[in-house]
Chain A
């Protein structure tokens, strides 16, 4: 039975982290003053992709790129780095810390006008395809500096930590 329990813990952790990563993306978009309509219109595609790749352990990073619509240049980037060995001996508690996301928003400062966003996932090789997702390229982080903010969501051995480029 121990194996069955472990499987359930992993499944629940994957589900918990997947949904709450999309919630965190929405929290970032709304708090940054950006139009959340596009994110809302892709909710299922985003969640299915993230849940699938967390389940297969291909997802390495989920990224919110915020760029100038005038120049296309990246002005801010929020990274959720996935850790599959976050708390291997934990008790299976599922947790989320929205305050970490709120802190990241506060510390990253006000955005310039006329910005929009893209959501990208960095996967390891051989990831399964998910309908609605296509291949893409990250914008250059040249002239930006990355700062780690802290862990935002996790469960069992699965965790995600937030970093900000500004």
Chain B
């Protein structure tokens, strides 16, 4: 599976609204068929961006060719711009395309309720898997090795 990563400067370079506008334009320029769904989810996405949920866990879009993972940069990282990658994307949405927004805690419930009626938009809790692993009590020696592929990002 090909994965493309983008890192978008957010607060304090951009407001959450401006940040989502940049992400939307990357994923679906005006007139693109998936644009209406992204616009419907905008308020929720902006709240999640403002709350920094996409700082460490990506907004993920699938079913458009390569999987796209979008992180938002905040504070000094957003201002100095050294880590930003806002290059344009060329995506072709299939009928089963899906955009997943990260959220935890109270925001997870809020966001799920807000996007419930919007097709193709979902909310995922990045801590859910970790919690299951913790409950399973997997011995450390059996845990998977995680390789940081950041250096290989497109």
- Which A residues fall within an 8 A CB radius of B? 8, 12-13, 15-16, 18-20, 22-23, 26, 30, 36-37, 40-44, 47-48, 51, 94, 155
Docked CA distance A133–B50 (Å): 21
- Interface SS of chain B: helix
User: Which of B11-19, B123-131, B142-150 participates in binding chain A?
Assistant: B11-19
A20: B residues at CB distance < 8 A: 11, 50
A51: B residues at CB distance < 8 A: 15, 17
Which listed residue, B12, B106, B110, touches A16 by the CB 8 Å rule? Answer: B12
A125 to chain B, nearest CB (A): 25
Total B residues in contact with A, Cβ cutoff 8 Å: 21
B93 at the binding interface (Cβ < 8 Å): no
B residues 38-94 near A (Cβ < 8 Å) are 42-44, 46-47, 50-51, 75, 79
- Asked if A40 and B14 make an inter-chain contact with CB atoms under 8 angstroms apart, the answer reads no
B114 at the binding interface (Cβ < 8 Å): yes
- Asked if A15 and B14 make an inter-chain contact with CB atoms under 8 angstroms apart, the answer reads yes
Interface string of B4-28 (1 = CB under 8 A from A): 0000000111111110000000000
Question: With A15-B11, A23-B51, A30-B106 in contact, do A41 and B16 touch (Cβ < 8 Å)?
Answer: no
B76 to chain A, nearest CB (A): 9
Q: B47: nearest residue on chain A (CB-CB)?
A: A43
